[in-house]
Each structure stands twice: as structure tokens, then as C-alpha cells.
């Protein structure tokens, strides 16, 4: 193992293992922004990805079969994989419990959804310790450790307790709450102190970084210095960096794929089935932070107040299944389906249905075809760390005539102002007005706005995100770290 190896630590591995029969198993690539971002980095630098397999230990194949599957995965990805086993009870309390019933809603300012069960905290600590032990066993001095997201906040704390001397960076993919919200967390001091065991803490936006710095000052009293993208926190005899590093997408890859013939053919089919109207697109994972019920009510408000839109627009709402079997998410699904039924029942006419609802994951070709086809994107989360769907939509707009309506509480809003139509998702009439503004917007203004949105994404793409974080975490001067040269995007 060469010195300077990059080690990515995340809740899930970038592969999916699933049973294909009574005794057969299959392995397939994982999906998501983190896989897209870090895969090429590890492949070119030579690295390691450590994470959970995604299935309970009780359901896993034999170790021999599992190692064979991981060997296949390693040959496909081009970098090493190491897994952490989690038992079913650990998954329930660490992942579904502390991570998704406490940190997820609290960090999204929706603390009414929190369940502060003390047993969740105990298991969260134990699982983070388990991850840390695996990191210690599979890394060596000189490796740079990059830990990702809210499920693994305590990993650096546990590594320090194990006496491990490594450079450790952490990136939070979700928002960080303001002080008045963070104070509601019973383990607020432990979480803050654990984050300060990292050498670099990365946040999506300057607002998230300011919220974190405010909590550190108010609750711990540490001295904070620096301006701009990165702050320095003095913790005893150490200096901890806290910076904002907005995550992005591979702009060129999306733009090129959207221009392919297979996507063009799919896009033609979509418009042939929904002719002579503007299509409004919503794409979301099933989650209460995404504001889907509020969006449907705003669309209904637009139809009621602007009757000239009827028969001329269709809302295409895609909901990707998530956390199936969890009661709260099942209730949300039923509420969405009830609202879709009520709107269609009230406004449907012969030859026109106002809302088309899809509850499934979309193949990539179909998703990008929707991005390319739909004249308006309606992306209105109640709170979001960044929202890469907004960036994917803009990158895939081949004709440059799409209009982006975006929640001002999405991390991407800071980058997209004033070229997107920013809205408050709780303001139903305000969102309805934005829908009408997009519907009536002229071609010249549409293209002008989209050109600027695309230029912003192209300049600040996924390569820039990786570069900026590693530059801050490993070297103050990029020239001191020549192994990063491969990050230069293809022309």
C-alpha cells in the first residue's frame, strides 16, 4: 500500500449485494452522488472504501462467498473494498433509530419528528466504535481518512481513543441546524466534541458552517478565527478546520448523456404522450423533508387561481420508494396519493389529467429524458443539504429552455440565486405564483436564466468539490500534492 492512500468511510459501500435465489447472490454498482464523486478518485489514486454491506449480518452469505463477491466488486470498481457487519438490532437502533429518527429530522429543523430514545445513543456509539476498529485494522500511517455523513460522526473520536495517528476529514451531506434547534439534542455536547476530533469538517453551505461555528462558540467557548470558506477552531493544542464545500455533479457527463440518441428517443415518447402542454417535473425520494404534500397543494392552488393553465400544464411527480415498512413513511405515501387523487378528481377533463404520479425508481435513461423534456422543474424541499436533482435537471437541459423553481431552503439556492425562481415551500400561494411565472415566461428569459445556471454548475462541478476538500484537508498548496493532478476534468 502506497503512502498517501485515500480511505473513504461511509455508512454504505458503493456496491449492492442482493440474493438472486435460494443460494445465489448478485453484486451490482451502488448509486448516488457520493459514489459518482469518490469512485474515480479512489480508482486513480489507489484507495480503499470501507462501509456496511446494506444487509443484516444474519442474512449475509458465508464469509467465503462474501469475500468472493467483494473480490468481484473490487475488480469492477478498481479500488479495494472492506465491509463492516451490522446485526439487525444494530441497524434498527443505529441507522433507523439514532441516525434517522434523531439526527435526520433535527438537522432538517423538523424536531417534532424526533424520537430521543436513550438506547439509540448507546447503539450509535457502539456502531461508530465498530467502524473505527475496522478503519484501524485496514489502514496505515500516511493514509488520509475521509469520513462521510451524519451516521458516522463519532468515528474520529473512537479512532483517537484507539490511539490512531491519522489525518481525518469529515463531510456532512445534510444541513447543520442553528443553535436554538441544536440545543434540543440531549447529546449536543458529545456530538460537538466528537466533530472537533476531526482535522477538517466540511459542510454544504456557508450557512451550515456558520451554524456549526455558532454552536461551538456558544456551547464550548473555543476560539474561532478566519474568514471566507474555511475557519480555524483552536481546541487545546490542536487546530481544527471547518469549511463550506458545496457538493456537485459531473456536469459534462450529464450534459453529454442527455444529448444521446437513446435519451432523445425516450424524450420524444414522453412528449408524444403528453402533447401540447408544458410538463412540470418533481423528482424526490419519499421523505417528509422533501415537501411533496405542500408542493401538490401549491399546484392545486395554481390551478384554482390561474384557470388559463388548465389543460396546458401537467405535473409529473416521481417519488422514489424509501424506508419501506416504516410507519411514518407509509403514512406520508398515503397522504401524497390522497392529494393526487383529490386534485385529479377535482380538475381532470377528457384528454387531460393534471397530475401524473409515479412511485418507483427510474432507470437512468428515463430520468434524464424527463430532465431533458420537462419545461419546468419544481423542486421544493422543506430543507435540503444541497439537492443534486436541481443540478442534474439544469445540466440535462439540452435546449436551454427549462425553468428551475427551487426552495430557498435547499443548499443549492445560494449558488442559483437569482437565476432560479426561489420560493418558500410553506407559502402555497407564493409557489403557485412562481409556477404561473414559469408557465408564462418567454423563451429569451428562459434561455438566459438557464445559461447562467449551467455555467455555475459547470464551473463548480464534482471535480471542484473533491479538489477543494482535499486541498484544505491535505495541502495548503495544490502543488504540494501532485497526486491530485488527475482531478483535472476532461476537455
C-alpha 25 chain-centroid distance: 28
Residues in CB range of 325: below 8 A, 6 or more apart:
none
Distance CA 433, CA 435 (A): 5
C-alpha 87 chain-centroid distance: 25
The residues facing 224 across adjacent strands are 233
Of the chain, the end-to-end C-alpha distance in Å amounts to 31
Look at residue 37 and give its three-state secondary structure.
helix
Distance CA 4, CA 250 (A): 25
Look at residue 51 and give its three-state secondary structure.
strand
CB 176 within 8 A of CB 411: no
Helix (H) or strand (E) holding 373: helix 364-373
CB 280 within 8 A of CB 315: yes
Distance CA 16, CA 393 (A): 26
- Phi and psi for 16 in degrees, rounded to 5? -120, 125
Instruction: Work out whether strand 25-29 and strand 15-19 pair parallel, antiparallel, or are unpaired.
Output: antiparallel
Q: Which of 151, 223, 153 is nearest to 189 (CA)?
A: 153
Distance CA 61, CA 66 (A): 6
CB 391 within 8 A of CB 379: no
Which candidate in 173, 199, 250, 433 is catalytic? Answer: 173
Other CB atoms within 10 A of residue 420 CB: 27
For the stretch 291-294, contacts whose Cβ atoms lie closer than 8 Å and that sit 24 or more positions apart, written own/partner, are 291/380, 291/381, 291/382, 291/407, 291/425, 292/317, 292/319, 292/332, 292/336, 293/332, 293/335, 293/336, 293/339, 294/380, 294/382, 294/425, 294/426, 294/428, 294/431
CB 169 within 8 A of CB 198: yes
- Dihedral class, residue 311 (left if φ above 0, else alpha if ψ from -120 to 50, else beta): left
Which candidate in 384, 419, 433, 461 is catalytic? Answer: 384
Annotated active-site residue 134? The verdict is no
**Where in the sequence numbering do the catalytic residues fall?**
173, 384
Amino acid at each position: 500500500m502506497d503512502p498517501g492512500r485515500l480511505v473513504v468511510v461511509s455508512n454504505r459501500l458503493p456496491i449492492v449485494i442482493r440474493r438472486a435465489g435460494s443460494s445465489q447472490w448478485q453484486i451490482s454498482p451502488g448509486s448516488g452522488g457520493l459514489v459518482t464523486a469518490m469512485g474515480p478518485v479512489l480508482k486513480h489514486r489507489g484507495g480503499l472504501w470501507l462501509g456496511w454491506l446494506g444487509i443484516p449480518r444474519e442474512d449475509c452469505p458465508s464469509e467465503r462467498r462474501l469475500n468472493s463477491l467483494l473480490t468481484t466488486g473490487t475488480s469492477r470498481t478498481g479500488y479495494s473494498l472492506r465491509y463492516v457487519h451490522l446485526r439487525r438490532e444494530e441497524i434498527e437502533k443505529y441507522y433507523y433509530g439514532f441516525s434517522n429518527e434523531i439526527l435526520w429530522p433535527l438537522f432538517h429543523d423538523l424536531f417534532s419528528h424526533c424520537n430521543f430514545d436513550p438506547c439509540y445513543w448507546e447503539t450509535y456509539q457502539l456502531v461508530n466504535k465498530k467502524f473505527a476498529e475496522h478503519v484501524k485494522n485496514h489502514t496505515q500511517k500516511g493514509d488520509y481518512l475521509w469520513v462521510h455523513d451524519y451516521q458516522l460522526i463519532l468515528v474520529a473520536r473512537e479512532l483517537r481513543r484507539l490511539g490512531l495517528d491519522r489525518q481525518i476529514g469529515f463531510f456532512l451531506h445534510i444541513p447543520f441546524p442553528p443553535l436554538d434547534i441544536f440545543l434540543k439534542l440531549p447529546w449536543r455536547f458529545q456530538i460537538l466534541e466528537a466533530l472537533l476530533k476531526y482535522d477538517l469538517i466540511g459542510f454544504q453551505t456557508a450557512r451550515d458552517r456558520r451554524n456549526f461555528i455558532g454552536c461551538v462558540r456558544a456551547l464550548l467557548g473555543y476560539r474561532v478565527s478566519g474568514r471566507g470558506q474555511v475557519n480555524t477552531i483552536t481546541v487545546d493544542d490542536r487546530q481544527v478546520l471547518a469549511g463550506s464545500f458545496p457538493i456537485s455533479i459531473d456536469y459534462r457527463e450529464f450534459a453529454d448523456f442527455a444529448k444521446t440518441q437513446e435519451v432523445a428517443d425516450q424524450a420524444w415518447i414522453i412528449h408524444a404522450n403528453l402533447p401540447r402542454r408544458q410538463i412540470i417535473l418533481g423528482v424526490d425520494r419519499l421523505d417528509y423533508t422533501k415537501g411533496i404534500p405542500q408542493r401538490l397543494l401549491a399546484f392545486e392552488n395554481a390551478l384554482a387561481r390561474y384557470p388559463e393553465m388548465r389543460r396546458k400544464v401537467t405535473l409529473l411527480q416521481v417519488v422514489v420508494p424509501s424506508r419501506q415498512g416504516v410507519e411514518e413513511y407509509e403514512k406520508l405515501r398515503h397522504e401524497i396519493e390522497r392529494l393526487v387523487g383529490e386534485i385529479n378528481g377535482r380538475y381532470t377533463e377528457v384528454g387531460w389529467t393534471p397530475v401524473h404520479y409515479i412511485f418507483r425508481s427510474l432507470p437512468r435513461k428515463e430520468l434524464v429524458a424527463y430532465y431533458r423534456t420537462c419545461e419546468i422543474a419544481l423542486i421544493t424541499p422543506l430543507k435540503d443539504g444541497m439537492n443534486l436533482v436541481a443540478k442534474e435537471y439544469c445540466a440535462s437541459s439540452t435546449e436551454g429552455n427549462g425553468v428551475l423553481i427551487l426552495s430557498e431552503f435547499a443548499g443549492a439556492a445560494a449558488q442559483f440565486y437569482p437565476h432560479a425562481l426561489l420560493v418558500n415551500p410553506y407559502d402555497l400561494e407564493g409557489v403557485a405564483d412562481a409556477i404561473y411565472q414559469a408557465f408564462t415566461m418567454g423563451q429569451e428569459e428562459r434561455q438566459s436564466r438557464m445559461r447562467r445556471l449551467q455555467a455555475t454548475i459547470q464551473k463548480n462541478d464534482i471535480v471542484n468539490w473533491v479538489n477543494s476538500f482535499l486541498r484544505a484537508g491535505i495541502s495548503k498548496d495544490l502543488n504540494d500534492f501532485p497526486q491530485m493532478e488527475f482531478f483535472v476534468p476532461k476537455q
